[in-house]
Structure 1
Amino acid sequence: MKIDLRKVAEQSIDLAKRKGADEADVIVLQSRSFSVSVREGDLENVENNDQITLGLRVLVGKKQACVAGSDFRTSAIADIAERAIAMAGVAPEDPFIGLAKPNQLGPPNETTELRLYSEEGFPSPEECTRLGQTMEEAAKGVKGVSKTDSSSAGYGESRYCFLASNGFESESRKNFLSAGCSAIAGDGLEMETDYYGETRIFQLDMSTPERIGRKAGERAAAKLGSIKPSTMNTAVLFDRRVSATLIGHILGAINGGAIARGTSWLKDDLGNEILPTNLDLYEEPFRPKSLSSTLYDGEGIAKRERKFIEKGTLKSWVMDLATSRKLEMPTTGNATRGISSPPSPGTTNIALTCGDKSPGELMKEIDSGILITSLIGSTINSNTGDYSRGASGFLIENGEVTQPISEFTIAGNLRDMIKTLIPSNDPREFSSYKVPSLLIENMTVAGS
């Protein structure tokens, strides 16, 4: 169904103002997705979603409320506006809310330069099914793999319109293809499972289904014979599959919301050295072919590349307008806006400086250590940075990966951990987090 998203957005703003809003903004999102999953060669599940949703935010004085809906008749939009105004009336006052000033807004622009949309078209349902079957066959062709949990393939696309009463307007569209396989190795009580999948905008950037299935199978088979390691203090190499979680903890700690609340282990470290001096942590909002790329943040502020950490020194918090006002600093243009929630600080594409050595070369320098490929659960103290997580992976002995290991916990303090980060040179090309494998020289491993 073709809907004029801009017309719906304009009508929503107009009705909100008529009903009593001092300011308003609205997101109108149309999305559709299709996926199939295959098990044992047969089609197991088909999912087909097609939806259009609007999310209206109204500001009445220093109060705000958000309401979402999917009925675009004029009477229904008017009802959404009325409900939002009523909800704002009973909301607590917040002196820091408010739309961007016109001089803070970036000029209107199209997103074609970001390469977020492919004109190649999508695979048919039959082609998606064949992709799933091919991945499954490739996984089962790996020695030790007994079956697959599922293999899935699909696609999605969306159109997006964001309008605000301060004059900001933006429209964009994006699409993607996805394929993945979950393989099971071994049998009985000795089974191990693992997964590999990809999401890309352009078909040419996708791996073949044979490679996807084979990689899932190889990952699962490599875990057979897993043991519980001894308790020790040792070097830990975070594989690139999980290394971005460490950077996520840093970003959480420099989030303006956490800083304003005083609930961050880095709250007193602006201007201090927190990473090795050869490392930068920065945002790349204009990275081509990344689904997180954007020209504007969720409040219409023009994005720009920004170093949050430069040469190891913490240079900036991650802020939207409200947190920047609380902290009495300029916004960093990092608002994220959901359909039914007000803006909050967040990031788009993140990158960490890479090192010169491959993960294998880093391992060569480790006499005894652990390679982490999977993390389970999380106990992170946001005030102190104390870190503890369940994990699985492999022993490193004399510079080589040897025995698969599982059912152990790694622990340390994030402040100490990140001071010794040694990056490799293997970031994932199409991930929104371009973070390579990361070596931490000493952590506590709690095993048997």
Structure 2
Amino acid sequence: MQQSLLKRLLSFTRPYLSYLALALFFAVVGVSMTLYAPVLTGRAIDLVAGKGAVDFQALKAVLKILAVVVATAAASQWLMGLCTNKITYLTVRDIRVKAFDRLQKVPLRFIDTTPHGDILSRVAVDAEQVADGLLMGFTQLFTGVVTIFGTIGFMAVVNVKITLLVVFVTPLSLFVANFIAKRTFKFFKAQSETRGEMTALINETVGNLKLVKAFGYEFRSREKFDEINARLRDCGVRALFFSSITNPCTRFVNGVVYTLVGIVGALSAVAGALTVGQLSCFLSYANQYTKPFNEISGVIAELQSALASAKRLFEIIDATPETPDAADAKVLGHADGTVDLEHVFFSYVPEIKLIEDLSLNVKAGQKIAIVGKTGCGKTTLINLLMRFYDVNSGSISVSQTNVENMTRDSLRAAFGMVLQETWLKSGTVRENIAYGKP
């Protein structure tokens, strides 16, 4: 499942392959310069520590080249960072837009059955988690992969036998990281879901604070918050604990590698197979070679969190949209005011009946008041008239035309709805008045 999630997430980067190519190019340049620096450092050490007088002219030339190499490496890393940031935030923007567009198209049933705070958490917080995971993943992926293969090449030039020793031992780091990663995903998934619950509770409490105070619900609201907060803490601690194991484990394996390189390299230097400068160069490479494996542990933990958040975003994107208007749907022009309900049956859930065999004929200009206790179906009737929901059976006609044969936009434009609770859009008074007809 994680592989399919990752594959789908990466599919959103396809429009930005040019930035990926640039990031890879700058990663190659930056890492190449970084790896070439130890060669120059080793050469400088040999010039100073070698027999005879120090060749200051040669040393000066080496140091000049070293300065250019270091500056080029720094500039390349900076440019690669710009590219990876661009890819990440363009990708997350596209995912957010797709999720928001789907929210505009899902049936009202989806909105009614999903806590609003949870939806907000997915589009806002989970999207940021995806961004953090992608950014770290891209940055470490490009530099890490190039560093690993580049370092192997440079080490092989210095000493093939010690290089083979390093290559055979370090895969243990990948095994440890992969083993732990498989067990952390479920904890990050639970953490994202619980965070959504908390956002939903805060949104509902703050949005209805007057009711909370009027009914003296503060204490129970606090109890509910504490319960969710405790679960979020537990999920977070578990996720952090298991993900944090990776780094010490990989560092231990890499420490063993570095120690072996130091011992074998020192013996080779004593035997005359390596110069002091080459040994210094090789130790620097061994350190750089193991560094990406240490960083991969952090990337894996962040990526698991990002995939858990991406799964929640994709659940919105994959939500079944509202049934589209029929190809031959009519546009309701002038509504004459007649409304006819013929043997209408409707229920939100099959096992709980709500409206059964309702027939009603409203003439043009006639005023109708529908009264009843809470939950008897008054608001539901409005939802059916405006096609926020479709009837289970029977028919509703407006101006002698079945509403299912009309476009939803033209049908809803014919109604004037006064909501029970006031809703104001962020903006000016003019924008609120003109909301229906901007």
TM bin, normalised by shorter chain, reads: under 0.3
Q: TM-score, normalised by structure 2?
A: 0.24
Higher relative contact order (CA 8 A, sep 6+): 2
- Report which of the two structures shows the higher radius of gyration computed on alpha carbons: 2
- Structure number with the higher strand fraction is 1
